[in-house]
Amino acid sequence: MCGIVGYIGFRSAKEVLLKSLKRLEYRGYDSAGVAIVNGKINIAKKKGYIDSLEFGFDGTLGIGHTRWATHGVPEDRNAHPFLDCKGDIAIVHNGIIENYMVLKEELVNRGHKFTSDTDSEVIAHLIEEYYQGDFKEAFLKAVRELKGSFAIVAINKNERKIMAAKKDSPLVIGVGDHENFVASDIPAFLEYTNRVIVMKDGEISELTDDIVHFYDFNGRNIEKKNVEIINWSIEDAEKSGYPHFMLKEIFEQPRALDSTLHSLLSRNDMDFDFERVTIVACGTSYHAGLVGKYLIEELLQIPVDVYYASEYRYRPDVVEDSLAIFITQSGETADTIAAARKAKVSGNETLAITNVVGSSITSYVDRVLYTNAGPEIGVAATKTFTAQLLALEYFAIRAGESMGKLSVSQVRNFINSLRKIPLYVENTLNLNDIIEKEAKKIYKNKDMFFIGRSMNYPIALEGALKMKEISYIHAEGYPAGELKHGPLALIEEGIPVIALVPEDITYDKMLSNIKEVSARNAYVIGVSSNMDVGKYVDTLIKVPETELYLSPFVNVVVLQLLAYHAARLLGRDIDKPRNLAKSVTVE
């Protein structure tokens, strides 16, 4: 998720842009840059941190950007802003231009010269192609050509204004006195103004020193919007008003999943041929791999092994007709990279699932699926986990299609189901108040148990991991059928047991397991779409009804929120739990 800023007014644009970009550092980035108008458009950009930008030029009109790579590896030439061929137009962009290859080919045929590997650069050249002395008109025509998601901010050396466009990517306007701002998020300009207008999808804004005009994509005027007064502190604003990054990221999941699916659907390299799969990962990513195992075995009818990356190195090589999948949020997890090296040397076909373009893991695999969830600041993985689940489900569907295991109609039905996931998750997030009440009943317990079967056994493991890593409560996840093989001895009166009860072939067995722990006076929280489960538990958290193989998405959101609220009630450092790091880069 990139950070965008734009400024027009009387202050030093250099100072405003650099300060504003620093305020957006929490979004994560791999490169940074600014463009300032002073007779011409001057640009400074490079891979690395904002503090490494060194330049002497200044002015009172400019744009800035921090980039999180999605197209093109992190390099100076792929950093924003981008210029047109003449150097008269500069743009910054957040999102994905799905038709950029078609547009780029047309523009190259017309003589345009590109300097980067990004999808974003096509925007500058498209505006140039349409420019005939009216910047706004050229900008509108260019925007109408684009397919995908975007927040675009552009400047032209010949006209003192900023143009901005929004579709499925955030943009907000900061209204000042004889100055105006545009940015990806409010904290960018909160030091200068707390008067805000939130742009809506399908809107264009035109900013001058003294006024902001709004249009639709066809250029029709939109009536002046109400200005909102924001009373957040700057620190609060960086979290969009949420008390912690973790909660913010939990609530970002519908957008992260939608963005991931859009990215995956654009792939045209999903032909596979293998007889077995090995999935390798650590921590939360390992749990995603376990869910993937159940799904791949179900859809493709082939065996799948799942290994902790730290244990993978001790297994014998298995090469013949084998695909190895490596899952790592950061792409820098040392154990997972070591495992990928081993698989590559052994001759396996390899695939990585990661959230970071150009990360180290990509150098050791044949293909990469990017989750496109945006940067995740909280140490406890939330939106990257559900994005990994989505990537694995999409992989299984496309592999089944290419290997003749699924019919065209089956693939179409599966893909249509995937499109519903963001809404299922959004509806689950509406249960936040109910889940918080449950957390208040259980947060003082020293032990908890999470149980599930089949695809929801890994979700029980993930729920237990979330609880222990941010609340420091001892929590264990178990296959529900294993209770009588040991864990049942630990069940005492009042101990919370969180039971995941999807409406699938495990339903009746799960009810039997619930009766087992209830007979020992455990406090049972049922998570299910079936109201009848309420007859057997102390509390039912009723989740949305989904297709059977999508239940992990809604169930894990409940467990994320339960862990979050328990940790908050205990006063824990939720975003930075003790002894843990976001990316484990040593073995």
**For 278-295, what is each residue's pLDDT tens digit?**
999 999 999 999 999 999
Would you mind telling me the total number of residues written for the chain in this entry?
A: 587
Distance (Å, whole) CA 229 – CA 450: 44
Average pLDDT score over residue span 271-281: 92
pLDDT above 80 (res 584) = no
Mean pLDDT lowest among 60-64, 321-325, 570-574? 321-325
What's the mean pLDDT when you consider all of the chain?
92
Q: What is the pLDDT of residue 71?
A: 63
Number of H helices, E strands in the chain: 17, 24
Report residue 25's pLDDT band, with 50, 70 and 90 as the boundaries: confident
Report residue 321's pLDDT band, with 50, 70 and 90 as the boundaries: low
pLDDT above 70 (res 208) = yes
Domains, in order of start, for the chain: 3-238 (3.60.20.10), 265-419 (3.40.50.10490), 427-579 (3.40.50.10490)
Report residue 390's pLDDT band, with 50, 70 and 90 as the boundaries: very high
Tokens 């200044």 sit on residue: 58
Q: What is the pLDDT of residue 236?
A: 65
Q: Amino acid letter at 138?
A: A
Mean pLDDT lowest among 122-136, 254-268, 406-420? 254-268
Report residue 355's pLDDT band, with 50, 70 and 90 as the boundaries: confident
pLDDT above 80 (res 582) = no
Question: Which residues lie closer than 8 Å to 408 by C-beta, 6 or more apart?
Answer: 401
The percentage of the chain sitting over the pLDDT mark of 70, rounded to a whole number, equals 96
| Residue 582 falls in the annotated catalytic set | yes
Report residue 331's pLDDT band, with 50, 70 and 90 as the boundaries: confident
HSE, CB side, 13 Å, CA atoms: give it for residue 262. Answer: 21
Distance (Å, whole) CA 397 – CA 411: 6
Instruction: Tell me 576's DSSP state.
Output: S
Q: What is the pLDDT of residue 241?
A: 81
pLDDT above 50 (res 586) = no
Look up residue 313 and give its two tokens: 């190195």
The one catalytic residue in 2, 47, 239, 466 is 2
| Residue 160 burial by Cβ neighbours in a 10 Å radius (0-12, 13-18, 19+) | middle
- Neighbouring C-beta atoms of residue 345, cutoff 10 Å: 10
The one catalytic residue in 136, 405, 468, 582 is 582
8 A C-beta contact, residue 356 and residue 56: no
**Residue 503, beta-bridge partner list:** none
| Residue 282 falls in the annotated catalytic set | no
Cis amide linkage into residue 487, ω under 30° from 0: no
pLDDT digits (tens, 9 = 90+) for 449-501: 999 999 999 999 999 999 999 999 999 999 998 888 988 888 889 999 999 99
- The alpha helices in 40-188, defined as continuous H runs, are 100-109, 121-130, 135-145
pLDDT digits (tens, 9 = 90+) for 38-97: 999 999 999 888 988 889 999 999 999 998 776 666 788 889 999 999 999 999 998 889
